[in-house]
Amino acid sequence: MRHLRCLTWVCLALLAAPALAANMPASKGWRPAEVKPAETEIPAVTDPPYAAFDAGKYQEAKTLAEEAAAKSDGPAHTLLGQIYEQGLGVPQDFVKAAEWYAKGATLGDAHAQFSLGVFLAEGRGIKENKKQAADFFELAAAKNHAIAFYNLGLIYVDGFARPQNLTKAAELMEKAASLDHVPAQYDLAAFYKEGRGVPRDEAKAVYWLGKAAEAGHGNAELEYGILLFNGKGIPKNEKAGLDMLRRSAEKGNPVAQNRLARAYAFGAGMKIDAITAGKWHLLSRQAGVSDFTLDQFLANLTEDERTKAERAASEWEQSLAALLQ
């Protein structure tokens, strides 16, 4: 086949960056995306109930936790809440989970306070009450609970349960980010990029974006990879940038798949690979990313190349589906 040459203007636009942290909340009524059971933390302790829990011995963990809870042990209450929340060794029961979290929260356990805040925010096992949820997040945050800091930050961004205050939101996000909470690092980069609640600071925006990318945040990998590739606000490193794009694409990010397809199609920072370019373009297009230039590239593939690209895309989808099972 005859491959298209990468004209100068095409190369310059090849890896144009999407808007940084485009998912940053901005409108009234927005619910914090990170308020979900999967974010509930279980403290890393060596107490027998937790040792049994970590070993997958849920019935034993439940028995040991009940014994400890009878002695007013706060973390034991949290563990019992987690067991009922996830239905581990017992039928899943959000009402019982909420009751155990409430008892643990009363005893001052930060993880119970956070988890009860989650349940109150979502109305899971207990009547929804966002104001009380924010109160419990504040109690947990006072004990340096990273995700509680993050959720409070989101609350102050949107102005529900607390008056909107972007300065306060940025302060809370920075605390969460400093405790290695990855979504907070990604959102904090947007605060510094846009100057929301803090003075605009490109260097800090790039720093926090890089931290989130290195930790495996898919959107951060995409955006930081583009910055590395183009050398914008950071020393240019095409190989590292493409590696970041590949990491994001492998997670299923369609924009990263599109940018990676362009790199393979036009030899940007790598050798041209028509089949791999076709694979990533087919996947990104299927996810809704349109690209007329790559459509033309795909149309110029030989029948054999097109078949191999389609097979590669199908195999990638099957492998991702297997990982998610």
The predicted-structure confidence for 98-112, as pLDDT tens digits, reads as follows 999 999 999 999 999
Q: Which domains does the chain have, with CATH numbers?
A: 34-143 (1.25.40.10)
Closest CA to 96 of 57, 134, 69, 72: 69
Please give the Cα distance from 237 to 235 (Å, whole number): 6
Residue 301 confidence (pLDDT) above 90: yes
Q: What is the pLDDT of residues 153-174, one digit of tens each?
A: 999 999 989 999 999 999 999 9
Give percent above pLDDT 70 in the chain.
86
Q: Quote the pLDDT of residue 75.
A: 94
Please give the Cα distance from 129 to 157 (Å, whole number): 18
Please give the Cα distance from 79 to 130 (Å, whole number): 24
For the residues 223-233, what does the mean pLDDT come to? Answer: 94
